Structures are given as C-alpha cells and as structure tokens.
Chains A and B, each alone.
Chain A
C-alpha cells in the first residue's frame, strides 16, 4: 500500500509544480482529481470543499476510488454512464446519489471532465466536481414530471450542455423518442429522498464554472512544470500507437507482455506492460516502436527466432523458450508465448507476446501455473482488443 500512496503523491508532484494544491484549495468548490493511469483509478487530490460536504478527512479519501461514495440507492445505470464516459475519455454531467461519511445520502450534480497531456494526448487526470442539489418539493407541472422521473431525459440535457463547453467534439444528438414525455408519474406529491432529482441551471452553471477554474489552475501549474495539460483532446502524436482506452484497459493486466503490430514495417512493439519493463530493465520509450528482437543477443538460438517468425507468418499461437537479454546485458531464459489477436473486423490486428522468466516458471500463484497465467493474459488482451475496436461509440 505504501508504494501506492507514494505513486499518488508523485502523480501530482511530477505533473504540476509546487503550490498547485494550495491554489486548488483556494476554490470553495467540492471536487476530486483522479489519476486513471494508477491501478484502481484513485483520487490523487481532494478539495477542502469536498471534505466539508462529505465529512471525511483527507487521508480517508486520497487513494480511494470514487465509487466508495456511492451506496445502495445510487442508481446503477448512472454509475454505468460514468464508467463509460471515463472509458471514452469524455466529459459527463449527471445527477447522482452519494453518501457522506455518516451514511446519509444526498443528491449532487456530478460533473466530470478529462485532462489531457499536450505532448501525447493521453488522459492524465479526471476532474470530478460535486454540486449538491437541495431537496425541493415536486410540482406537478409537465416539465417537472419529465425531468424528475426520467433519468434519460436528464442525462441527455445535462450531457449536451456539458459537452459544448468542455469538449470540441461534435455533439451527438440523442434524439430520444417523444414517448418519454408522456410517462405518467404515479408518485405525485412528496419527493422521497431517493427519488431522482434534477439539477437546475444554477447547479449546472456552478459545476461548469468550478470545472473551468480547476482546469485553469491545472493548466497554469502544468506550464510551470513544463508538462502541459489541456482540457481538450489534442491531436495524438507519438503516443498514437494505440487508442487511449485500449492503453488504459491493457494497463490493468499485471503481467509482462507486449503487443506488436504486424501491419507496420518491421512489426514494432506498440504496447509494453509495466511488468515487461521491470523484467527487461528498459524504459517504455526505449521499446515502443522497436521490434522485439532487441531482446535477443549473442547466444540466442537463431532457430528459435526463425520458429517464431514462422508461427507469426501462419498466424498460429506458439510457446518457445528463448534466451533473452535485459538492458543491463544479463541473460535470462524467456518462456515466451505468442498469439495472434484479432480486432472487431475479425482480422489479426496484433500479436501478443507474454514473457515468463524461466527461473520463475515453477512458481504457482494461487494454484495457477505460469503457463495458464500466460493464457489468461492472451484472453484478456483478446477481449479488450476486440471489444474496444467495435466502433461507433454512441453517446
């Protein structure tokens, strides 16, 4: 857990210079900043405004994932919408039931937006703003019925307004059927505490303003550190090897593996896991764009290398034992499993190579043999690549 907290401190300190935390805390609003690149997508910064509203102390919040503030009455569909927004790296504004430390629930307008790195277009943070929605007695007018009972309607309206301000993408019209307008409300009268609650323009404005201010501060402090950020998705260069959501998904697989692209000249590595870097001693930028052969050296058996080439050519999975070398030139026997990975078109898009250090090969983890764990990686990669290339993200 310590290294996790260490990573969390680092995440902010490396990206933004000096007094960024103080600057952020000058804002009165309730908000959190998360880092999707750290396992668990934890909160890396929490405002004093947040702590006041939710009743937690800073140490109880940093390192946690935002879902801990949800509870049994939180609408699952809304949770799903937020999850999809994170995955698609877009902003969202949605009413959500959250819970304070003392267990009491309350409605708030949740406004979330991504923060992109200017250099490589990756999402480095998500900003989440919480604007409490005070309880109001429901009036039986047509508009109130539409807005309160219908989560979809709510989502549509809120989302559209947010997108316009935060992202430069074209807005996708939801165009829901007008059948929704005629949904009758059997619960006329008193609003139960956990009935859906719409934010008014006031709350939306507050949320937009807060997000905007936070983004300005982050931008300013990133300039000072030299690692610029921005609120809009900049053109992706350098990183451009894999879509960001695939990158993030693959980042959750905690084993050594790489993805290579056979359609690019010399089949370069387009993704390398953290554990691969740990195993081989290389830094990410030293391996991306290069063919895996750099791992081989003087005593590597050329016959094995040829064998690998053949399997790749025939798009067959294979397991070989090959002598590889780390960056520091120390050799290790690599029990390497390679498999073709298809995307949604059904055609091979990548090859995945999963490495096991042979000296560890008899180590069972939880009863699962290393080979089985290799296959588990292959399966996880196949699901991710196929699913995330299925196209049209419908907002």
Chain B
C-alpha cells in the first residue's frame, strides 16, 4: 500500500512549476541551454578540520576579515535580491514573536508563504526515491537566484571571486535563495548541483553543510535538512539555512549522554522535549562528527525511516529527529484540528520555529499548542529505541570498526594539550557581520 498525503508545496524558486518542463527556456537557468559561459561569484572556504587553532595561543580574532566575510557576503547578496524583487514577499514584514514559556517557541504569521493552490499528492512512504528530471529541480532556477558557488579552497586560504566560471565537469555546490523565505537570509545549499543528486544524505554533502556552518561561524545561522517523507518537497539534494538571532527551543533542551564513539563523538538523548531524537557533538575533527551523523542518516534512509536534521551551534551540535507525522497523516491518524493549522512539521518547526498561516493560530499560539503539535511528530519511546539500535549498529560497523561502540566509555585521560578555540561568537566575540 502506497502512502500519500496532499499538501501544497512551498515555492522555493521563481521558476518552480508542477508540470513537466519542456526543453530550452531562455530563462537564464543552470541547464545546458543557458549554462555555457555563465559566471557566478565563488566563495572558496577553508576546510576547518577542528574548530580550533593549532598554535594554541594565536587568537582567532587575527583572522577577522575572512571569518566575518561569509556572513557579509550572504547577507549582502540576499539583500540585493530583496531589492531586485526576487522574493515573493518581504519576510521582515511578517509579524513574529517568541511565545512566553519555558522554551520560547517562535511563532511567525506568514499568510503569503503558502499558495492558495490545489494541493499536490506526495508519496510519503519512500524516503529514497530516484531523481526525476521531469519534476522541478534546482538546475531550473534562474541564475539570478543563485548567490554564489561554494567550494573548498585548495590552498587553505579563504578566497572570493566576484565572477568565476562554472566548472561543468566538476559540478560546484551553490547557495541559492529560497523565494518563500521563513526568515531573513533563507537560502538553499545545493551540493554538486549539476549532478542532480536526489534528496538523500551522503558523507561528502553532509560534510559540506558542516563546513558551511563552521565557516559562517555564527550561532544564529543554522542549517536544516528534511528527508523525503519528512516534508521535503523537492527531490534534489539540498539543505536550508537562515538567520534568526534568538535561541531555538531545541537548543535549550537538556540531553543525556548515551555513548561516545571511538572518534570521540558524543551521542545523547534529547530530554524533556516533545520530539524525541538524538544530539551529536564533539569528535576529534569536524569530519569525525560529520561521519557519525551521516552514517546515522544513511542508516535511517536505508531503513526507510523519514527524518530531519538540524545543524546548530556553528556546526558543533547536530540534532537528528526520526519522525512519523507524514505516515500518521496518510493513515488518517492526525486530528483534524492539527491538520487545519496546515503546519507541516519539518526541521524548523521541530526545532521550535513555527510559521503559521492563519491569524487565529498566531494569536492563540502557545507553548502548549506547539508542544501538542510536535508531540504528534515524535516516534514513540519504543520505536525510537529500535531506531537507535539500528543507528548504533551502523555506527559500530562503520566507525568503530571491530572495536565496537563502547556505551559508557569516555577516554577521560586522553585530552588534548592544545588550547582550543571556538569559532563561534560567545557574544559575538569575533566580529561576524550578523550580530550575535
């Protein structure tokens, strides 16, 4: 039995259409019709392997300009597209508030985000689906929607080229705007865009997302991922990101350590939060952290479990939420009251940022309501335990080799002797453009 739900997809690009495209367009897109000879800005990031400094006492502040730079670039390009009228609405004109309560859920009244269109059917029972060229994908966006290419720098120096050719053989990754933004600066990170990868996490792409979070170095710039079946609507690999300079409720939730991998990645249960899930932090290197999370995601994908991922704290804390809301919805198990709000609990909603379409819902927004909605998203304790078993097995096989995952081991004596520095802003302690 195929499970489907009906929903109106969010428009993320000006050129997004539901029907099949015919070849050639004259719209300055990224396909073969328009791409040859095209140029886009290129930001070459430094592959920070640790968010630390090898020479101990060298202050991170010495590298002022480049660190603030990605912020400045992204915001400047975004504002430029705002002024050129590329967004469907001005998100800063949407009322927003922090709901009083313990966690401070964030509500926004956004009547313009969702189209008053006929809802489309989406398959929600398959997390892995092959790429379908006939459907909308990001090579169909206009070049003006792309802010810049985002690639690693090969000599470990941050570089910016205002106009660089696009290497078709070696597809670049790009940052594009989301024309229906949830917040200011809402962009899409599309790894290796021309390869047309389907929406599924792989190691390289996830690491790219972490590099971006680390490069931005701003705790209020977060990245998110929705798998198919967990409210991703476009089956072309992408992450989302935006700025919101308040803490997310999920970031305030306490956590209890379950285990530490041999690569020193700590995996914990999220406590006292309506959606059950895992949080990953630590690791000897950024790559270690990335791999543990991506193996977890791949495991979920392979087992057809929909999930969402939030990358927070400049890439230092990663939340993983297996979910089942779409399945419940397809089986008719969600109360009509919740369905009426038309809130699709994707990564941002789960993290505590709710975009509401109806004034009534916005005015009545409360921590209790938010909690109730999100509780529907969560896997049960038992189901989560099964999922965790799968994940830990996958990690054990792939990361810890034959040593096996040691549940309570903590190599306490094995501490580094370097003085480690963080790239994030404790209070904006490094001058990122977006005030922290």
Contact = CB atoms under 8 A, between A and B. Distances in A.
Interface of A: 1, 4, 36, 39-42, 60, 63-68, 70-73, 76-77, 79-80, 82-84, 86-87, 99, 101-105, 149-153, 174-177, 179-180, 183, 186-187, 192-195, 248-254, 317, 339, 341-342, 344-347, 364-369, 372-380, 382-384, 386-388, 390-394
A192 B408 CA distance: 9
Contacts of A82: 426
A127 to B, nearest CB: 14
Given A376-B433, A388-B245, A346 B93 contact: yes
B317 A373 contact: no
B27 interface: no
B435 A252 contact: yes
A344 B80 contact: no
Most buried by A among B184, B254, B424: B254
Nearest to A340: B92
A149 B71 contact: no
Contact of B427 (A192, A248, A372): A248
Contacts of B253: 152
B415 interface: yes
Given A67-B422, A317-B83, A392-B98, A367 B243 contact: no
B431 A252 contact: yes
B272 A376 contact: no
Nearest to A59: B57
Contacts of B101: 394
Contact of A183 (B83, B102, B256): B256
Contact of B435 (A364, A372, A383): A383
Contacts of A77: 251-252, 254-255, 317
B429 interface: yes
A86 B431 CA distance: 16
Given A176-B102, A179-B272, A383-B243, 16 more contacts: A39-B431, A40-B61, A41-B429, A68-B421, A70-B422, A72-B264, A79-B424, A174-B102, A175-B102, A192-B410, A249-B436, A365-B65, A368-B162, A375-B76, A375-B79, A382-B92
A374 B79 CA distance: 10
A103 B415 contact: yes
B98 A83 contact: no
Per DSSP, chain B at the interface is loop
B72 A380 contact: yes
Interface in B173-196: 184-185
Contacts of A70: 420, 422
A344 B97 contact: yes
Given A39-B431, A192-B412, A390-B98, A151 B79 contact: no
B75 interface: yes
A177 B66 CA distance: 44
B246 interface: yes
Given A68-B419, A382-B79, A383-B75, A368 B160 contact: yes
Nearest to A384: B435
A41 B426 CA distance: 8
Nearest to B61: A40
Interface residues of B, number: 87
A40 B76 contact: no
Contacts of B378: none
B92 A80 contact: no
A376 B185 CA distance: 11
A104 B432 CA distance: 30
A170 to B, nearest CB: 14
A136 to B, nearest CB: 15
Contact of B94 (A192, A346, A373): A346
Nearest to B281: A76
B219 interface: yes
Contact of B184 (A64, A68, A175, A386): A386
B80 A383 contact: no
A373 B408 contact: no
A248 B72 CA distance: 18
B244 interface: yes
Contacts of A151: 254-255
B436 A252 contact: yes
Contacts of B90: 342
A214 to B, nearest CB: 20
13 contacts: A40-B61, A65-B61, A73-B282, A77-B254, A77-B255, A79-B424, A80-B251, A101-B419, A253-B431, A375-B80, A382-B92, A392-B99, A392-B100
Contact of B282 (A72, A84, A183, A365): A72
A341 B90 CA distance: 11
Interface string B65-106: 110110111111111100100000010111111111111101
B404 interface: no
Contact of B271 (A1, A73, A180): A180
Most buried by A among B247, B427, B431: B427
Contacts of A317: 83
B104 A392 contact: yes
B384 interface: no
A372 B160 contact: no
B73 A368 contact: yes
B415 A346 contact: no
A252 B281 contact: no
Contacts of A60: 57
A80 B76 contact: no
Considering the complex of A and B, which 10 residue pairs feature the smallest CB-CB distances, nearest first? A249-B435, A379-B75, A387-B245, A376-B76, A103-B417, A376-B72, A152-B254, A193-B412, A394-B104, A375-B76
A87 B425 CA distance: 11
Contacts of B220: 383, 387
B316 to A, nearest CB: 5
A391 B416 contact: no
Most buried by B among A67, A195, A384: A67
Contacts of B104: 392-394
Contacts of B74: 379
